[in-house]
């Protein structure tokens, strides 16, 4: 007799049986119930997000207006982020600046979340492609988004600079060669410093194994140094807050004397 998975329909999307079994497997692994909610396209920063602060269930928000395969990939993408959480990958936080306005603090926070997700996404997209789903749809759309950015002058706003540098680094690391060349050319004339910074970020991130929690910690720390943002971002890892690369270095040395 054919059994139907509990996840054969999510947010009115029919899910393939292969993907629904994977969803079932992950949710068992998470040892936590998960519910799915639509994300409204109007105020969405990305395609989805996983929220583990919603009790008693964890919640995955996803855009619903996506092609079927991309929708499945998006749901799995967010579930793999929850796997990272269970496996204790690092997360980042933004220091609330007492003298900044709430809008500024919110901007710091958003730039910070772009930041962590670029690094954590490398591992998530690899998990997805190992499973057999591509992230192409999302790479293409971030390419289009980058190319539609109107750049009239040099970006001097710190949050915008950091977030854009990280976004471009993500493109260098994951998009196809032609798209990478186009994006670099698009930004280069008005923002040579930004392009240089994005390339250095990508080079540094590439050298570290970002598939492990310790590797991601190291990766984040190296890039915080490069962008000089320890004054407004910190890293949460294994019940501690890391506020400098020295601290990270000491921690990693204690755990891996070969570092």
Burial 9-19 (b: 16+ CB within 10 A, else e): ebbebebeeeb
Residue range at the interface with Zn ion (CB under 5 A); choices 55-63, 99-107, 121-129, 130-138: 121-129
Q: Is 121 in the site for Zn ion (CB under 5 A)?
A: yes
Whichever of 114 and 155 has its CB closer to Zn ion, that residue is: 114
Please, which residue, 46 or 251, has the CB nearer to Zn ion? 46
Bridge-based pairing of strands 9-10 and 13-14 is: antiparallel
Which residue lies nearer to Zn ion by CB, 110 or 247?
110
Query: Does 123 participate in binding Zn ion (rule CB under 5 A)?
Result: no
CA-CA distance, 52 to 55, in Å (whole number)? 8
Which stretches within 99-243 are classed as H helix? Answer: 102-131, 136-147, 158-174, 177-188, 192-206, 213-227
Longest dimension (CA), the chain: 65
Q: Which residues pair with 34 in a beta bridge?
A: 58
Nearest to 50 by CA among 113, 142, 123: 113
CB of 82 to Zn ion, least distance (A): 11
Is 214 a residue that touches Zn ion (CB under 5 A)? no
Report the first-to-last Cα separation within the chain, whole angstroms: 53
Nearer to Zn ion, 126 or 225 (CB): 126
Piece of 15-23, 54-62, 99-107, 113-121 that binds Zn ion (CB under 5 A): 113-121
Give 54 or 247: the residue with its C-beta nearer to Zn ion: 54
Minimum CB–partner distance for residue 239 and Zn ion (Å): 23
Judged by beta carbon, residue 175 or residue 191, the one nearer Zn ion is 175
CB of 105 to Zn ion, least distance (A): 23
- Cα angle for residues 8, 11, 16 (degrees, 5° grid): 30
Kindly state the smallest distance separating residue 191's Cβ from Zn ion, in Å. 25
The size of the interface with Zn ion (CB under 5 A), counted in residues, is 2
Residues contributing to the site for Zn ion (CB under 5 A): 117, 121
């Amino acid at each position: 007799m054919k059994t139907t998975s509990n996840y054969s329909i999510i947010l009115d999307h029919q899910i393939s049986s292969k993907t629904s079994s994977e969803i079932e497997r992950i949710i068992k692994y998470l040892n936590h119930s998960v519910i799915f909610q639509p994300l409204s396209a109007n105020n969405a920063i990305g395609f989805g997000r996983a929220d583990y602060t919603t009790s008693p269930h964890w919640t995955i928000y996803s855009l619903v207006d996506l092609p079927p395969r991309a929708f499945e990939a998006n749901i799995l993408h967010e579930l793999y982020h929850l796997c990272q959480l269970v496996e204790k990958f690092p997360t980042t936080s933004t220091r609330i600046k007492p003298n900044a306005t709430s809008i500024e603090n919110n901007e710091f926070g958003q730039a910070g979340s772009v930041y962590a997700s670029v690094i954590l996404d490398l591992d998530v997209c690899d998990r997805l492609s190992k499973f057999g789903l591509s992230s192409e749809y999302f790479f293409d759309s971030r390419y289009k988004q980058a190319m539609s950015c109107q750049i009239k002058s040099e970006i001097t706003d710190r949050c915008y600079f950091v977030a854009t540098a990280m976004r471009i680094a993500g493109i260098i690391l994951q998009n196809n060669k032609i798209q990478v060349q186009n994006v670099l050319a698009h930004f280069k004339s008005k923002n040579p410093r930004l392009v240089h910074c994005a390339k250095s970020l990508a080079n540094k991130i590439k050298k570290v194994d970002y598939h492990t929690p310790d590797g991601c910690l190291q990766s984040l720390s190296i890039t915080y140094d490069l962008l000089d943002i320890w004054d407004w971002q910190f890293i949460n890892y294994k019940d501690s807050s890391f506020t400098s690369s020295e601290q990270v270095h000491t921690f990693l040395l204690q755990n891996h004397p070969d570092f």
